[in-house]
């Protein structure tokens, strides 16, 4: 599925890989614009907890992604993440983004990403990527992704549950335990995005509110009721838990300050 071919077996030029990757990203957007345009997360239908549900994409590790250690090259994980995150962003924010059909006026830009590798992915091994909202602060929206060994499918697909409640295979099977889920993890990644209106950053909470992805604050003035047990306080608690991890990720910004490439010293230039 992935096309960044940083391996001993790849003779493809960089421009070909980039173009192929861009085509795949465009195909993802076309899928949501042309075929899944009416489908987006709505907490009135799916519940506020659906904001933290993952989007799942599946893939395999083809020969051109294998490195000299005979497993999936680390560089190719980020291509898979690009495709997976496009699906999530489209499901959540397609009506807010300036895509030419929704009336939205926002752009979304990737600020940084990091990946922690746990276990190798072998040649042609199947795997899934699960990405969901982790947290947000005044500027950044944080997403967390996990590469995992395929397992039982979700018991229902929230995005399509109103029309296809049994659309997924293995529906109704018992979910994995926490221990089983942890053993299935191959790698984990975190990414931060910023919403932009022109050159101005837009707070993620404002975008989430406009997208109707947040429950009302319980201030006594709102008459809107949710059938879900998730309240504003529940969502805020989930956000704060994720923010603890996100703050550690933000600490990597300090790396810019330790660059000393202008001191005239180097082992060599290749």
Would you list the domain boundaries of the chain?
A: 14-153+185-215+229-252
**Percent helix, strand, coil in the chain (nearest 5)?**
35, 20, 45
- Tell me the two tokens of residue 263: 């001191």
The CA radius of gyration of the chain, in Å to the nearest whole number, is: 20
Low-confidence residues of the chain: pLDDT under 70: 1-44, 99-103, 152-176, 219-228
Q: How far is CA 102 from CA 96, 105, 106, 112, 210, in A?
A: 7, 9, 11, 27, 13
- Tell me the two tokens of residue 187: 């790698």
Name the 3-class secondary structure at 80: helix
User: What is the pLDDT, as a whole number, of residue 133?
Assistant: 97
User: What is the pLDDT, as a whole number, of residue 235?
Assistant: 94
User: What is the pLDDT, as a whole number, of residue 28?
Assistant: 56
User: What is the pLDDT, as a whole number, of residue 134?
Assistant: 98
* CATH class name, domain 14-153+185-215+229-252: alpha beta
User: What is the pLDDT, as a whole number, of residue 219?
Assistant: 64
Closest CA relative to residue 1, chosen from 147, 180, 145: 147
User: What is the pLDDT, as a whole number, of residue 223?
Assistant: 52
């Amino acid at each position: 599925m992935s096309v960044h071919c940083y391996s001993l077996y790849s003779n493809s030029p960089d421009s070909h890989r980039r173009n192929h990757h861009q085509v795949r990203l465009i195909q993802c957007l076309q899928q949501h614009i042309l075929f899944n345009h009416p489908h987006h997360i709505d907490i009135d239908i799916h519940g506020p907890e659906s904001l933290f549900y993952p989007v799942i994409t599946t893939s395999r590790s083809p020969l051109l992604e294998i490195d000299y250690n005979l497993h999936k090259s680390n560089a190719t994980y980020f291509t898979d993440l690009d495709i997976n995150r496009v699906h999530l962003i489209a499901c959540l924010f397609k009506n807010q983004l300036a895509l030419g059909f929704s009336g939205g006026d926002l752009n979304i830009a990737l600020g940084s990403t990091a990946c922690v590798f746990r276990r190798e992915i072998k040649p042609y091994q199947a795997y899934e990527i699960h990405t969901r909202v982790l947290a947000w602060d005044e500027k950044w929206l944080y997403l967390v992704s996990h590469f995992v060994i395929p397992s039982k499918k979700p018991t229902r697909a929230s995005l399509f549950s109103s029309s296809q409640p049994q659309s997924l295979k293995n529906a109704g099977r018992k979910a994995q335990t926490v221990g089983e889920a942890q053993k299935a993890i191959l790698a984990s990644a975190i990414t931060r995005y910023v919403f932009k209106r022109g050159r101005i950053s837009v707070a993620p909470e404002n975008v989430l509110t406009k997208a109707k992805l947040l429950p009302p604050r319980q201030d006594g003035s709102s008459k809107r009721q949710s059938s879900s047990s998730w309240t504003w306080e529940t969502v805020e608690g989930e956000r704060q838990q994720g923010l603890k991890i996100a703050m550690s990720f933000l600490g990597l910004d300090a790396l810019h300050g330790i660059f000393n490439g202008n001191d005239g010293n180097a082992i060599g230039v290749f």
